[in-house]
A and B are shown apart, each in its own frame.
Chain A
Amino acid sequence: KAGVTQTPRYLIKTRGQQVTLSCSPISGHRSVSWYQQTPGQGLQFLFEYFSETQRNKGNFPGRFSGRQFSNSRSEMNVSTLELGDSALYLCASSPLTGNVNYTFGSGTRLTVV
């Protein structure tokens, strides 16, 4: 069965631009969580979506937003990019909210110049 698919794998953007990242969960998984990974901070929780509703949100500014579609695919958007947004963005899917069976995608490496 296919794993969690994140597109694109790599992205270079300029400060001030906005970016949209995509995550397709494992078939049948309805929960998608997003994390930001940087060398200094490790993995930090951004938000979680379940059945098209945001269930949880981390401590990130409003420039970071997301949504989930009826097929459980999720997108996250970052507006007005800053240099500090350069990171690996990972998504994880699980069958249900609170399920222990989290599977991560390989991530999108975002570089802001």
Chain B
Amino acid sequence: GQNIDQPTEMTATEGAIVQINCTYQTSGFNGLFWYQQHAGEAPTFLSYNVLDGLEEKGRFSSFLSRSKGYSYLLLKELQMKDSASYLCAVRGLNDYKLSFGAGTTVTVRA
């Protein structure tokens, strides 16, 4: 099975940077996803990492270390609209199902 941990809440100021960590213990690994979910809305895809290293996509970057079972999502130049829940999910090796962490609620303050 999968055990995925991420902080429950984080607060940051508009224009700042926030890093959301995700650690996982898995019986098989076939990629790590980050999703953003605004209250009452569908989760939307942010990033996918399957190899070690940093993937940058605009203001959002995601990092993966498979040997450490660790990933982070970096949000730069925070905007008020970035206030949302951020979900870390690991895909299994043989069954392809996504196992999610409980989510990190990020609040951006003016």
Contacts and interface: CB of A to CB of B under 8 A. Distances in A.
14 contacts: A33-B98, A35-B98, A35-B100, A41-B102, A43-B87, A43-B98, A45-B98, A56-B95, A56-B97, A58-B97, A90-B42, A97-B96, A100-B31, A104-B42
Contact count band on A: 20 to 34
Interface residues of B, number: 22
| Top-5 shortest CB links A-B | A43-B100, A42-B102, A104-B42, A98-B96, A45-B97
Given A56-B96, A90-B42, A100-B33, 20 more contacts: A3-B42, A35-B98, A41-B102, A42-B87, A42-B101, A42-B102, A43-B43, A43-B98, A43-B100, A55-B95, A56-B95, A56-B97, A58-B97, A100-B31, A102-B33, A102-B98, A103-B45, A106-B40, A106-B41, A106-B42
A35 to B, nearest CB: 8
Contacts of B31: 100
Chain B contact residues: over half helix, strand or loop, or mixed?
A: loop
Nearest to B89: A43
Most chain B C-beta atoms within 10 Å of own C-beta, residue among A41, A42, A106:
A42
Interface in A44-73: 44-45, 48, 55-56, 58
A80 B80 CA distance: 42
Contacts of B98: 33, 35, 43, 45, 102
B45 A48 contact: no
